[in-house]
Amino acid sequence: MDTPLTLLQNTFKLPAFRSGQEAVITALLAGHSALAVFPTGGGKSLCYQLPALMFDGLTLVVSPLIALMKDQVDALSALGIAAARLDSSLDKDETQAIYAAIQDGSLKLLYVSPERLKNERFVQRLANLKISLLAIDEAHCISEWGHNFRPDYLLLAGLAQKLRVDRVLALTATATPGVAADICRQFAIQPQHHIQTSFARPNLQLRVTPCDVETRMQLLLARLQKHPADAATIIYVTLQKTAEDVAQAINEAGLRAVHYHAGLKDDEREQIQNRFMSGEVPIVVATIAFGMGIDKSNIRAVYHFNLPKSIENYVQEIGRAGRDGNPSLCEMFAVGDDIRVLENFTYGDTPARESLSALVDYLLAFDDVFDISTYELSQQFDLRPLVLNTALTYLELQGIISAQSPFYTEYKINFLQPREYILAQFDQERAAFLQKIFAVGRMGKKWLTLDMLTIEQQLQEPKTRIIKAVDYLAEKNWIELSVANLRQGFKNNQSIGSVAQLGELLNYLNRLFAERELRDIQRIHSLLDFANNPACLSQQLLHYFGEASTTPCGICNHCRQSSGMNLAVPVQVAMNHEQQQLIARVKQEAHKALAQPRQLARFLCGLPSPATSRSALKNHPAFGALAGLSFPLILAAAE
């Protein structure tokens, strides 16, 4: 049988293990669960890809990014390793082929998003398989103490037990000691199997440059002018508008830059990323939407035009520089006004108590099994999608509701063969059944639309039989099938029996969101402490992630200059009469979307929400008029 080293050299074409990899693989092969905390670019993927080839069952990899999954599956396939990904970009035939390979045991690695594991039918399919290893990428998302919390990750510990997986490997580049302890607790990982390699990156020169809004752009342009024209550079900003403005200013200065943010179409983002990766455009100005899975080794500079959200975000973002081991510059332009913007984003994410109460009342009114559109509920209760999904996950973890299978409410059929031809292929009873399906559809110019919410009642037939019949026609290439309007099924577990219990549940939910807000505010202030502490910047980062270091780096600007200007948060002045009058005027206008104090405070800070976006209030002159003030101050005045 192959040893890990022979597999490494013969299959993966690598000469030797990198730091920490062998220790993780040895623990997994001995049957233990493990946590691998390696810096960005530290070789985490090999820690599950290699042992997957030595296990007799399936390795299930949970990853939050489709692009990352695609890159890894392509790379494994090129090495002759049987790997696949299940995501929304695959067609029916591709999906069926993957299921067949899972079933016959020929597939070694399957990549899925955490959201797919909420699909009850998919989980039932997995329950019949031997899962030798569950690998969880970006594992800090599991921990509520983590900086990049994703609600669907919270359910993974319970799922691992339900599927009886042999062992779990949690992987992350940014786990503080508290987050690491939380991950180890959830997956029963022993202390000796928490393997952490050094975060030290001696080739990165770190700089924190306190400045003001007026001089920041000039400083950035001066730095860029000093670089070789083709030096690959990432500039991180907070807002989409800032990304566009900074890229424009760089181009006007005679350099070549593009902007990248979540507001662009998928194909535009992909094109920009490809141009940067190929070196066609050396500079990209981006929000944090850019960078996950960017494996470009020769990035010479990473600038933070705006302050990052946390030290964890900062480390992840500078970790993209200098992966080839050559010197790279990482400079943060520290402007105090950015603290207020970051704080207000955090406060704006906390849901209003009234919204949470209305949501819970709505969900508990269902008798048994029900389905929802998260888009519709987000609009109805003015909760951003992430906040809504977090609330639903908290309710699941409390056993109030249970997720069922998602389904589409709309099936559209385009006939590739005449109806008469299709019906002629079946016996009388099946042809009559298909005829009934076609009859209840709404015919447009090209597509026949079936309403899957009402079709069971209309035909007095189970929906599973109807879907099976339509799927069969698509498999035969007699029709083209398109689906739309995804809804998530849930079951009300009827565990709230009194008003007192309901009150306790609402207090619990509000407390969780308040704690989350407090932790995120503390993270922002940790960044402030980092910038203002005269100690070596590299040492500070190592200590933050629980790594002892006694030797200063000698190359950061804190090591090279003894004193400098401090980063200061703007002093919070009391609200003036004019600002108070503005709040009073907007309140008097009695907009339904601004009925709650928290909604009004969000609006005045310029933070969009589903309700304001839908009501066109973003064009109101007061939208963002008080963005320079702190959210708690505005909230107190709105109340």
Q: Is 450 helix (H, G, I), strand (E, B) or coil?
A: strand
> Would you place residue 29 in the very low, low, confident or very high pLDDT band (cuts 50, 70, 90)?
very high
Q: Which residue ranges make up each domain of the chain?
A: 4-196, 204-335+533-560, 346-400+493-519, 407-491, 577-638
> Where is pLDDT greater, at 612 or 18?
18
| CB count in 10 Å sphere of residue 566 | 12
The architecture CATH gives domain 346-400+493-519: Orthogonal Bundle (1.10)
pLDDT at 270: 86
Q: What is the mean pLDDT of residues 488-511?
A: 92
Q: What is the mean pLDDT of residues 5-10?
A: 94
Pick 4-196's CATH classification: 3.40.50.880, 3.40.50.300, 3.40.1120.10, 3.50.50.60: 3.40.50.300
Cβ atoms of 630 and 343 closer than 8 Å: yes
For the cut 70, the answer to whether the pLDDT of residue 584 exceeds it is yes
For the cut 80, the answer to whether the pLDDT of residue 613 exceeds it is yes
* Mean pLDDT of the chain, nearest integer: 91
Instruction: Give the residue from 249, 251, 273 showing the smallest Cα distance to 260.
Output: 273
Cβ atoms of 283 and 224 closer than 8 Å: yes
Instruction: Give the residue from 133, 97, 137, 94 showing the smallest Cα distance to 114.
Output: 137
Furthest CA-CA distance within the chain: 90
For the cut 90, the answer to whether the pLDDT of residue 484 exceeds it is no
> Where is pLDDT greater, at 295 or 606?
606
407-491: CATH topology is Alpha-Beta Plaits (3.30.70)
Enumerate long-range contacts of 531-534, CB under 8 Å, 24 or more apart: 531/208, 531/210, 531/332, 531/334, 531/567, 532/566, 532/567, 533/558, 534/558, 534/562, 534/563
pLDDT tens string 289-322? 676 657 788 999 999 999 999 999 999 899 999 9
For the cut 70, the answer to whether the pLDDT of residue 235 exceeds it is yes
pLDDT at 117: 87
Instruction: Give the residue from 386, 388, 393 showing the smallest Cα distance to 358.
Output: 388
- The size of the chain, in residues, is 639
> Would you place residue 552 in the very low, low, confident or very high pLDDT band (cuts 50, 70, 90)?
very high
pTM for this prediction: 0.84
Which residues sit opposite 234 in a β-bridge? Answer: 284, 302
pLDDT at 395: 94
Helix (H) or strand (E) holding 388: helix 385-397
- Cα 341 from chain centre: 21
How far is the CA of 198 from the CAs of 174, 202, 437, 589, in angstroms?
12, 11, 62, 57
Tokens of 508: 């619990």
pLDDT at 453: 87
For the cut 90, the answer to whether the pLDDT of residue 409 exceeds it is no
Enumerate long-range contacts of 631-634, CB under 8 Å, 24 or more apart: 631/343, 631/344, 631/347, 631/348, 631/601, 631/605, 632/347, 633/572, 633/575, 634/575, 634/583, 634/600, 634/601, 634/604, 634/605
pLDDT at 183: 94
pLDDT at 562: 67
For the cut 70, the answer to whether the pLDDT of residue 83 exceeds it is yes
pLDDT at 565: 67
For residues 99 and 111, give the distance between their C-alpha atoms in angstroms, rounded to a whole number.
Answer: 12
What percentage of the chain carries pLDDT values higher than 90?
A: 67
Segments of 349-492 assigned E as strands: 369-372, 401-403, 407-415, 442-443, 448-451, 479-492
pLDDT tens string 48-59? 999 999 999 999
> Would you place residue 146 in the very low, low, confident or very high pLDDT band (cuts 50, 70, 90)?
low
Which residues sit opposite 168 in a β-bridge? Answer: 134
Q: What is the mean pLDDT of residues 88-97?
A: 80
> Would you place residue 482 in the very low, low, confident or very high pLDDT band (cuts 50, 70, 90)?
confident
pLDDT at 487: 86
Helix (H) or strand (E) holding 285: strand 283-286
> Would you place residue 95 in the very low, low, confident or very high pLDDT band (cuts 50, 70, 90)?
confident
pLDDT at 548: 85
Yes or no: is domain 204-335+533-560 CATH 3.40.50.300? yes
Orientation of helix 463-475 relative to helix 428-440, angle to 10°: 100
pLDDT at 147: 61
Q: Is 247 helix (H, G, I), strand (E, B) or coil?
A: helix
To the nearest 5 percent, what fractions of the chain are helix, strand and coil? 50, 15, 35
pLDDT at 144: 67
Q: What is the mean pLDDT of residues 166-194?
A: 94
For residues 211 and 459, give the distance between their C-alpha atoms in angstroms, rounded to a whole number.
Answer: 69
Amino acid at 49: Q
Of 17-21, 93-97, 222-226, 375-379, the one with minimum mean pLDDT is 93-97
pLDDT at 512: 92
Of 211-220, 344-353, 567-576, the one with minimum mean pLDDT is 567-576
For the cut 70, the answer to whether the pLDDT of residue 237 exceeds it is yes
Domains 4-196 and 204-335+533-560 agree in fold: yes
pLDDT tens string 252-286? 999 999 999 988 888 898 899 999 999 999 999 99
